[in-house]
Amino acid sequence: GADLANMVNEAALLGARREQDKVTMQDFEDAKDRVLMGPERRSLVLSDKEKRNTAYHEAGHVLVARAMPDADPIHKATIIPRGPALGLTSMLPIEDRHSYYKAFCLAQLRVFMGGRAAEEAVFGEYSSGAANDIKQATKIAHSMVCQWGMSELGPISFGTDTEVFLGRDFVKERDFSEETASAVDRAIHTLLEKAYADAQDIVTRYKPILVALAEGLIERETL
């Protein structure tokens, strides 16, 4: 409720700044982005190279998501910086999700990898812009292996929620052997490497569409 009230208040402020006598759907759309992703940083000037790289990165996310039937629908892609991000791709689930199925998790991994895969396919290198994507993908892969039993290691939970304070840091207790730890690491790596390979395959196979999406973002900034 508080989140909705905050969004409505932001929409009303935007409508007033735009000298309107009523709040429009566009005001709500902009208010949603502001609440979820932070304010636009129009003052941040990107070089043509960074702008182009960001456009292809976001286009990669969009293309991979559209190619994955189990991924959430794409709502918007933008290369207008917000918060710490130079560009964003937002997805809107069709319905509330209270549990995660393996097909959805695998699709999410591929979508997260789509931006870096697009950069490599077009420019032959990749930037630090994929840092948060990699972090989120690794977190999902770790949960799939260690908590949800969604890997070749089977329906086993690895690790406990018990935390031990050692000096300055909390460290989670491990209730399995070094050999098992290596198997867990390999399973996580396998999920991520396969996801990246599939994302590379999609952006390479549909490269003309990737280019069209990216050029559209460069021209219009938001699609």
So which residues are the catalytic ones?
58
Return the bridge partners of 90, or none. Answer: 76
- Give the span between the Cα atoms of 59 and 184, in whole angstroms: 32
- Which H or E element spans position 77? strand 74-78
Long-range contacts for 205-212 (Cβ within 8 Å, ≥24 apart)?
A: 206/63, 206/67, 207/121, 207/122, 209/63, 210/56, 210/59, 210/60, 210/63, 210/118, 210/121, 210/122, 211/122
SS3 state of residue 205:
helix
